[in-house]
C-alpha cells in the first residue's frame, strides 16, 4: 500500500481532511495531544475550534469533544465531520439541487463580474440554488452537502468547481480577475452534479467515521460558554479534563476576508470585506485581543476539573505569545507552564504576498497542575 493509500485507508482519515482552512491544527498533532493527555470518556474543550480538528480527534478516539467556532465556514466543516449524513441522502440532495438550478438562470446571469470569470454558467446556477435552498444550520444532509460543496468551491482548476485559485484562501475579486485575464484562463467546463457525485463516492468509499457524542457550537465563546456550563451542570456531566485550542493570532488574518467566497455560498454578501461579522476588530486591536483571551479562558476555567490540563498553541511573535502566556498565567495561577517550540516547516500565508523572511514559528504552552 502506498503512502497516499495509507493516508486515506479509513473513514476517519478521509473525513478528517474535510475543509481547507487557514491556520488549522495538523490532524496528526491533534491525535498525539489527545492520546497523551486524556483517556477514553474524558471531555475535551476547544473554544476556538476552527474546522474542529481537535474535537474530531477527540471524538474518533472515544473522548467527548466540545467545540465553539465563530466562523460559519469552520463550523460547517466540523458538523459534517462529526455528524455526516448518509451517502445516499447526500446524492439525492445534490440531484435535487441540480433540478432546482434550472430556476436560477437569471440569478446566474446577474452575478458580479468575478463569478463569471470564476465559474461556468451551469456551476453558477447550481451554486445559486445551493446558496438559497440548503438549510445548513439545521439539517444533517444539508450541512453535509454544504461542507462538501465548500471543499471543492475553489482550488486548482482541474480539481475544483472554479477557475484556477488557491484552495485555502479566497483572493479578492479584482486581483483574481486581473490574474485570470493575464493568463487567458477561463472557468472549467464541467457538470457540477457529475463533478460532485464523483467526489462524494470517493469520500464515502470507506464509510462514515465512528465518533463519540461530541458537538461543535456556532457562535461567540463568550456567549456560548456560560450556557454550556449551565447545561453540563444540569446534566451532571464530568468537568473538562483538557482545554486544547489555538486562539486566532493577533493581526495575522481576517477570516471573513480570507473566506469571503465560501461565506457567500453560506448566504453572506458577494464581496470581499474585512468588516462582515461581529468581533472582527478583536484580532487587530491589542487591548481587545487581550480582553478576548482573558474572557474566554476565564469562562472556560469555570467548568474545568482542578486537575485539567491546558494545551494552547500560539504564535511565536512577541505580542501574541507574551499576551497569551500572561493571560494563561493569570487565569490558571496554580498550574505549571512548560513551552514547546514549533518552528514553521512550510511557507506561511504571507509568503503568498512576497514576504519570504524567516518567521518566529509557533509555541505550545502546556499548563499542568
pLDDT in tens, 107-157: 999 999 999 999 999 999 999 999 999 999 999 999 999 999 999 999 999
Indicate whether 31 and 98 sit together in one domain.
no
Count how many Cα atoms sit within 13 Å of the Cα of residue 217 in the half-sphere of its side chain: 17
Q: In what order do the strands lie in the sheet with 215-218?
A: 215-218, 64-69, 43-46, 240-245, 304-315, 362-368, 336-342
The answer as to whether 158 is a domain residue is yes
Look at residues 203, 227, 255 and tell me which one is the last residue of a structural domain: 203
Mean pLDDT, all residues of the chain: 90
Domain hosting residue 141, numbered range: 87-203
Indicate whether 158 and 216 sit together in one domain.
no
For residue 23, what are the CA distances in angstroms to 19, 66, 169, 190, 367? 12, 19, 11, 31, 22
Indicate whether 186 and 212 sit together in one domain.
no
Task: Indicate the SS3 state at residue 12.
Answer: helix
What's the CATH number where 308 sits?
Answer: 3.40.50
What are the grid coordinates assigned to 361, written together?
Answer: 514559528
The answer as to whether 352 is a domain residue is no
Indicate whether 174 and 145 sit together in one domain.
yes
Task: Indicate the SS3 state at residue 158.
Answer: coil
Indicate whether 185 and 219 sit together in one domain.
no
Indicate whether 215 and 76 sit together in one domain.
yes
- Which tens digit of pLDDT belongs to each residue from 157-169? 999 999 999 998 8
Look at residues 203, 233, 257 and tell me which one is the last residue of a structural domain: 203
Count how many Cα atoms sit within 13 Å of the Cα of residue 138 in the half-sphere of its side chain: 3
- Which tens digit of pLDDT belongs to each residue from 239-296? 999 999 999 888 876 667 789 999 999 999 998 765 554 555 556 789 999 999 999 9
What are the grid coordinates assigned to 17, written together?
Answer: 481532511
Predicted model pTM: 0.91
CA 29 to chain centre: 16
Indicate whether 216 and 188 sit together in one domain.
no
Indicate whether 75 and 104 sit together in one domain.
no
Indicate whether 123 and 269 sit together in one domain.
no
Closest to 218 measured CA to CA, from 347, 346, 67: 67
Indicate whether 24 and 123 sit together in one domain.
no
Count up the domains in the chain and report the number: 2
Closest to 259 measured CA to CA, from 104, 70, 126, 109: 70
Indicate whether 168 and 259 sit together in one domain.
no
Indicate whether 191 and 99 sit together in one domain.
yes
- Which tens digit of pLDDT belongs to each residue from 290-325? 999 999 999 999 999 999 999 999 999 999 999 999
Amino acid at each position: 500500500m502506498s503512502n497516499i493509500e495509507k493516508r486515506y485507508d479509513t473513514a476517519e482519515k478521509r473525513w478528517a481532511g474535510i475543509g481547507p482552512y487557514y491556520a488549522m491544527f495538523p490532524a496528526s498533532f491533534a491525535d498525539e495531544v489527545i492520546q497523551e493527555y486524556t483517556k477514553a470518556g474524558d471531555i475535551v474543550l476547544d473554544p476556538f475550534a476552527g474546522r474542529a480538528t481537535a474535537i474530531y480527534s477527540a471524538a474518533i478516539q472515544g473522548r467527548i469533544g466540545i467545540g465553539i467556532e465563530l466562523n460559519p465556514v469552520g463550523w460547517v466543516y466540523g458538523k459534517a465531520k462529526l455528524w455526516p449524513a448518509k451517502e445516499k441522502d447526500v446524492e439525492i440532495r445534490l440531484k435535487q439541487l441540480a433540478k432546482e438550478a434550472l430556476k436560477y438562470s437569471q440569478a446566474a446571469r446577474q452575478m458580479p463580474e468575478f463569478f463569471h470569470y470564476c465559474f461556468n454558467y451551469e456551476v453558477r446556477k447550481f451554486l445559486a440554488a445551493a446558496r438559497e435552498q440548503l438549510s445548513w444550520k439545521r439539517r444533517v444532509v444539508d450541512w453535509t452537502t454544504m461542507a462538501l460543496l465548500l471543499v471543492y468551491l475553489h482550488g486548482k482548476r482541474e480539481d475544483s468547481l472554479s477557475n484556477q485559485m488557491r484552495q485555502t484562501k479566497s483572493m479578492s475579486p479584482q486581483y483574481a480577475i486581473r490574474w485570470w485575464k493575464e493568463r487567458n484562463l477561463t472557468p472549467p467546463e464541467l457538470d457540477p452534479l457529475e463533478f460532485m457525485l464523483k467526489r462524494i463516492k470517493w469520500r464515502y468509499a470507506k464509510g462514515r467515521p465512528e465518533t463519540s457524542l461530541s458537538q461543535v457550537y456556532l457562535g461567540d465563546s463568550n456567549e456560548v460558554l456560560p450556557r454550556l456550563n449551565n447545561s453540563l451542570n444540569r446534566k451532571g456531566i464530568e468537568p473538562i479534563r483538557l482545554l486544547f485550542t489555538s486562539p486566532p493570532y493577533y493581526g495575522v488574518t481576517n477570516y471573513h476576508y480570507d473566506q469571503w467566497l465560501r461565506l457567500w455560498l453560506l448566504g453572506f454578501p458577494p464581496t470581499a470585506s474585512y468588516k462582515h461579522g461581529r468581533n472582527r476588530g478583536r484580532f487587530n486591536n491589542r487591548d481587545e485581543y487581550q480582553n478576548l483571551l482573558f474572557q474566554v479562558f476565564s469562562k472556560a476555567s469555570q467548568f474545568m476539573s482542578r486537575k485539567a490540563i491546558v494545551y494552547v498553541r500560539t504564535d511565536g511573535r512577541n505580542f501574541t505569545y507574551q499576551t497569551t502566556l500572561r493571560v494563561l498565567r493569570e487565569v490558571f495561577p496554580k498550574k505549571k507552564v512548560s513551552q514547546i517550540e514549533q518552528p514553521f516547516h512550510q511557507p506561511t500565508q504571507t509568503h503568498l504576498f512576497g514576504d519570504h523572511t524567516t518567521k518566529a514559528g509557533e509555541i505550545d504552552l502546556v499548563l499542568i497542575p
